[in-house]
Amino acid sequence: MLADLTWRKSSYSNAAGGDCIEVASTLPVQWKKATASNPNDDCVEVADGITGIIPVRDSKDPGGPILSFDANAWRAFVAGIQAGEFPISS
């Protein structure tokens, strides 16, 4: 299992290597933009295929931080958006 992980240095590492933290993930994964987004718009991207969690990132910064949410919590959040629980003012 550990051999299947992708390792990368933390953004807090120094250029010479030094003491640093490496972060592991099962990435690469397929990232998807919301179906309601315009191809030229910046938006949130979600990755599928990782059991139990939903990775989320900003499409403007694909190499930036990835937030991971519990899959059940993410489904509840999306259902709340679809039900209008989080109105967006224009």
Report if residue 76 sits inside a domain. yes
Report if residue 12 sits inside a domain. no
Domain count, the chain: 1
Report if residue 1 sits inside a domain. no
Report if residue 20 sits inside a domain. no
Tokens 């969690």 found at: 53
> Residue 86: what pLDDT?
86
pLDDT tens by residue, 27-52: 567 888 877 666 666 788 888 777 88
Report if residue 44 sits inside a domain. yes
Report if residue 55 sits inside a domain. yes
pLDDT tens by residue, 5-19: 666 666 666 666 566
Q: What is the DSSP string of 21-64?
A: -EEEES----EEE-TTS-TTS--EEEE--STTEEEEEETT-TTS
The one-character DSSP state at 19 is S
- 59: domain range? 27-82
Report if residue 10 sits inside a domain. no
